[in-house]
Amino acid sequence: LERYNDKGDIVIKDLLIPEGFQVYVPVYAIHHDPEIWDNPEEFRPERFNKENRSKIHPVSWLPFGDGPRACLGMRLAMMEMKFAVVRLLQEFKIVTCPETEIPPVLNAGSNFTGPPNGVKVQVVSRETADDNDAE
């Protein structure tokens, strides 16, 4: 994220941020900071469940930016993604396969945090999976 200081010269402790200065928020560094996140490289979706959400610092998770210039489509994007995931999971199971890296090796230092070679999984129709489970 990048912003310009348009509020005049600002001093925070001993740091001067001159007017017009471009300020970058290091989102990748924040999202992978072990002082903020316990084992930041581990995929742990339970960090964001209702019980744990209150423990997260409000600006330590910035997938859509923050403040008045946050992504306008955030709510729409989240709703559409939830519908898509629900629909997919109603029809398919996602399972590991022999090519699945466990644990995944993440691409540190990139703007995209996924593994450099992607995540290999197998998508199985629930009907087929249920038929095989019955046998």
Same domain for 92 and 55: no
Residues 6 or more apart from 30 whose CB is under 8 A from it? 36, 59, 60, 62
Same domain for 67 and 19: yes
Asked if residue 71 belongs to a known ligand binding site, the reply is yes
Same domain for 80 and 67: no
Q: pTM for the complete prediction?
A: 0.52
Same domain for 79 and 26: no
* Nearest one of 51, 72, 70, 43 to 59, comparing CA atoms: 70
End-to-end CA distance of the chain: 53
- pLDDT, one tens digit for every residue, the chain (135 residues): 677 888 899 999 999 999 999 988 888 888 889 999 999 988 888 888 888 888 888 888 888 887 777 888 888 999 999 999 999 999 999 999 999 888 887 776 665 667 777 889 999 999 876 666 655
d(CA 47, CA 5): 33
